[in-house]
C-alpha cells in the first residue's frame, strides 16, 4: 500500500475511534468535581453546595437521571441550578425525577436558553464563530412554565431570573442576585443591581451564561462568588491545551472550574486578581445538545463547592 494511503487510513481510523469514544463513552462518564471557596465569615460552619448545569435532558437518558439523583447522597446544604435543564419537548417529568431527591433542600435557579427553546440541528462550525446563536424564530418553545412551577412549588427553590432574594443556610443569611439567560439577551441586571444588604453574611451571583457584562456588574456590587454554567467546558477540548471556545465572550481559560473575576479580568490569570475579587465557578455541565452528543477531554460534571471561612 502506498505510504500516503496508509497514513490516510490510520488517520481515518484514529478519528473514528476518537468519535466513538466521545459519543459512546465520555459523554456518559459523569463525574463530581470538588472545590473549596474561602468566602464565609470567620467562625462560620462550612456550607456544602451542589451546583449543576446543562443537563440538556432527554427522557430516555436514564443513566444521567439516576446519576443526578445520587447527588442528594452528598447531603448538601444548598443547591444551585444554573439552567439548560431540558433537551426535549417532553423532558420536564424526566428533569423532575432527576432532581426530586434534592427538592426541599434550600436552593436557587437561573434559566438558560435550552429551558426556553428546543434544541435544533446546526453546523458545528458555528461554535467557532464570535456569535454562535441561532435565530429564536427557528426554534420551538419548551414547556418552561412547567419547569418553573416545579422548582418553585415542589422544590421550594428561589427563582433568580432577573431577581434578588435571600435564604437562611447553616445559620447564615445568604443573599442572591441573578439574571435570566444572557445568551438570549434576557438579562436585565440594572433592574436588580446594588450592593449587599447590611445584614448579609454571604452574597452570591447566579446566572447561566457567563457573559462579561454581567460578571463585571456583579463584581462591582461586591458579590463573594459567582456561579454559572453554559460553556460545557468547551465540550470538545484538546488535551494539554483545554477548551477551544466558551460559546460566549468569556476567555477559554475560565471555561470550567474555579477562578477569580474582576473588571478587566478577561484573559488575565487569576493569580493577578485583586484581594477583593469574587471567586467564580463555571460548570462544564452534565449534557450535550441531542444533535451534538459528543464530549472529548471534558467529562460531564456536577460540582460540590465547600464554602469555608476566609483565611
> Each residue of 120-136: pLDDT tens digit?
887 655 655 555 666 66
What's the CA dihedral at 43, 106, 193, 113 to 10 degrees? 140
If one counts every other C-beta atom within 10 angstroms of the C-beta of residue 255, the result is 26
Residue 9 is predicted with a pLDDT of: 47
If one counts every other C-beta atom within 10 angstroms of the C-beta of residue 286, the result is 27
Residue 145 is predicted with a pLDDT of: 98
What's this model's pTM, rounded to 2 decimal places? 0.92
Q: What is the mean pLDDT of the segment spanning 88-105?
A: 98
Residue 129 is predicted with a pLDDT of: 59
What are the two backbone dihedrals, phi and then psi, of residue 31, each rounded to the nearest 5 degrees? -140, 155
1-39 CB burial, b ≥16 within 10 A, e <16? eeeeeeeeeeeeeeeeeeeeebbeebbeebeebeeebeb
3-state secondary structure of 135: coil
Residue 287 is predicted with a pLDDT of: 96
3-state secondary structure of 176: strand
Q: How far apart are CA 166 and CA 141, in angstroms?
A: 30
Q: How far apart are CA 99 and CA 69, in angstroms?
A: 6
User: Which range among 34-48, 116-130, 161-175 shows the weakest confidence by mean pLDDT?
Assistant: 116-130
* pLDDT surpassing 50 at residue 229: yes
* Complete DSSP assignment for 2-47: -HHHHHHHHHHHHHHHHHHIIIIIGGG--EEEEEEEEEEPTTPPPE
Q: % helix / strand / coil in the chain, to the nearest 5?
A: 30, 25, 45
Q: How far apart are CA 144 and CA 161, in angstroms?
A: 13
Amino acid at each position: 500500500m502506498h505510504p500516503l494511503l496508509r497514513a490516510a487510513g490510520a488517520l481515518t481510523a484514529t478519528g473514528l475511534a476518537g468519535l466513538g469514544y466521545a459519543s459512546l463513552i465520555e459523554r456518559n462518564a459523569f463525574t463530581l468535581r470538588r472545590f473549596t471557596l474561602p468566602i464565609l465569615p470567620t467562625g462560620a460552619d462550612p456550607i456544602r453546595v451542589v451546583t449543576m448545569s446543562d443537563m440538556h435532558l432527554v427522557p430516555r437518558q436514564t443513566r444521567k437521571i439516576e446519576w443526578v439523583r445520587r447527588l442528594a447522597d452528598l447531603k448538601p446544604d444548598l443547591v444551585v441550578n444554573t439552567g439548560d435543564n431540558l433537551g426535549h419537548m417532553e423532558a420536564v417529568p424526566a428533569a423532575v425525577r432527576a432532581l426530586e431527591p434534592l427538592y426541599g433542600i434550600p436552593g436557587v435557579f437561573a434559566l438558560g436558553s435550552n429551558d426556553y427553546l428546543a434544541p435544533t440541528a446546526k453546523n458545528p462550525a458555528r461554535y467557532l464563530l464570535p456569535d454562535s446563536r441561532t435565530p429564536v424564530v427557528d426554534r420551538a418553545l419548551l414547556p418552561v412554565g412547567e419547569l418553573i412551577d416545579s422548582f418553585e412549588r415542589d422544590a421550594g427553590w428561589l427563582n433568580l431570573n432577573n431577581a434578588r432574594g435571600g435564604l437562611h443556610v447553616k445559620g447564615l443569611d445568604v443573599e442572591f442576585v441573578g439574571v435570566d439567560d444572557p445568551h438570549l439577551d434576557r438579562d436585565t441586571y440594572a433592574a436588580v443591581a446594588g450592593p449587599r444588604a447590611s445584614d448579609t453574611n454571604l452574597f452570591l451571583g447566579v446566572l447561566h451564561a457567563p457573559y462579561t457584562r454581567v460578571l463585571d456588574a456583579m463584581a462591582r456590587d461586591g458579590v463573594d462568588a459567582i456561579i454559572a454554567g453554559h460553556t460545557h467546558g468547551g465540550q470538545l477540548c484538546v488535551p494539554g491545551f483545554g477548551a477551544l471556545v466558551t460559546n460566549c465572550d468569556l476567555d477559554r481559560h475560565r471555561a470550567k472550574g474555579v477562578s477569580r473575576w474582576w473588571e478587566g479580568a478577561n484573559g488575565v490569570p487569576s493569580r493577578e486578581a485583586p484581594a477583593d475579587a469574587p471567586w467564580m465557578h463555571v460548570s462544564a455541565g452534565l449534557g450535550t445538545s441531542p444533535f451534538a452528543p459528543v464530549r472529548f477531554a471534558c467529562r460531564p460534571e456536577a460540582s460540590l463547592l465547600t464554602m469555608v471561612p476566609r483565611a
